[in-house]
Structure 1
Amino acid sequence: MQYYNQNTKIFLNGEFVHANSAGIDLFGQSLHYGYGAFEGLRAYSTHNGTRIFKAEAHFDRLRKSCESIGLPYKWDNRTLIEKCYELLEINNLRAAYIRPLVFSGSNMHLTSSEDANLMLAAWEWGPYLGQHLLRVNISSYERPNPKSFHIDAKISGQYINSILASTDAIRKGFDEALLLDQDGYVAQASSENLFIEKDYKIYTSPLDNIFPGITRQTVIGICKELGFDIIEKKLTIQDVYTADSAFLSGTAAEIIGIKQVDHIIYKEEWEHSIGATIQRKYKNLVLEQENYEVII
């Protein structure tokens, strides 16, 4: 898909510039080593106007991601949120995906950067994995060992692991991949968190070797609000195979149901599952049709 045209503007280092003339630092660590941090936010067109869901939580995580790898973070998050709204207005977007990216300056050494740049971009983007029930496989690729780096940070280079897993899944005829951790437990999808339903309870992996998704936390909150039992436990492959139903969550993907894992097709109709109820409640929440919490 085309993410920008000759009229599209981005916010780069304090000013709005045309995306096609921004230029790239060919000697930056981000380009050579994946030394950068990013976020993904969604803006929704609501009856209250355009609203960015959980903006403060996303920018707070961006700051923490940069700090975890020694990448300077010199920006005020409240100002950046305001710039996001301005960016949407400039590009005439009411509902959009927003990508903040912090990337390093020139440095060919394997040392922390003393300089950093920030970009904000936005484009129209439907649910990342589409809107149909997914066919997923247990990947041969594993989640990185948590002792190798900060797996709770959204670092650019870490997503090579996700690219390899999802590309392999698609090549095999699936829509997405589920990755195991180093101990053989099912951790998450390539860029989404996993939930399974079994005997009217919802289960999800604990924060040991998964990415702590903001949407994941929102789903947990919805479960508690609606009175559904939500249990964090290490999930085996057999747990996933024998579940009644399952779904993924993420800012880009939102909430999307799973039809099949490897050769196992879930028998429960998605429309009758707890996941489908959570999906509907989540949509009401982001569109401000349900007052579960304040959206900033």
Structure 2
Amino acid sequence: MRKIAASLAVLVATTTPASAQNAVDWFGVDGLEFASPATSFRFTDLDLRDPHVFLPITIAPFPTICFDFTDNAIPTTTVSFNGNIQASYNSDSSPADGFLDASSLLWFRPLAQDGRVARVDNGGADCLAPAPTSGCAPSATAVATAYAYASFAAGTCLSSLPGTQGSPAYAPAIASPAGSCFVTAPKTFVFDNNGTPLTLIDAQIAASFNGVPATALSNGLLRGFLRESDANQIVISDPALPGGSVTLAGPAGRRQRQLFHAQRQGHAPGRERLVVLFQLQRVPGDLHRPLSAFGDHVRFTEDTR
């Protein structure tokens, strides 16, 4: 479970019109400079906001309905999509081994809040239970992704792409990270969902800094595009689910694809936007082992744009 939700931590979100978004000149920036020790933040909250996920439910003699279980528990169960993510990030039960079930970190190398362009890495971690954790270390098998990022004192760091939200928009509304804030350069990102690699195209991460130096990151937004072919490989497993799991390739998946198409405007066929909101808390520096301590056990993905 730690590996699954840890990798989910790099998702996407949107908000104010793109015209209000700060512009960054990424030309000539590779983002590969390595500064150690890093300033580390752990994801404490993660919510899929757009699109929603649905499950077909039939209760005789009524017709089958598509139930939105993004935030609402499936009838007769305690299972909701976002609820399961929150539980994994804040509990130690699967397995009960002294570590939180899911953890993902952002490593700022360095933490720059003065407008510089610098490097931030994202990857899975092992964090001590209970939450809030007293310390984290990168997973011994972590595959971290390196990003270039820019910080701003004011303005919006990341906003919604025109025409990518349905009408009416889902509630709660998607918040927008604003100054003081940071945003990463767009790149293709691959994460592991229970052994299934899922690829986000042109993915960006942004969040607001809380404090100087920052002790937390809020209004986090991850925005990118997910191919339908990849979305159809997503399997959501839970013993409380009918049959133990649901896949976007099944009847719920067909309904999900209909929603994708109904809400998409002006995007290439087969590419759907994905929006995720998140919050992070800083990990105590004296308890965090830097990535360099793991040598060759920590690998970094290449930018495949």
TM-score band by shorter chain is: under 0.3
Larger RCO: 1 or 2 (CA < 8 Å, sep 6+): 2
Relative to its length, the structure with more strand (as a share) is: 2
> What's the TM-score, normalizing by structure 2?
0.24
Relative to its length, the structure with more helix (as a share) is: 1
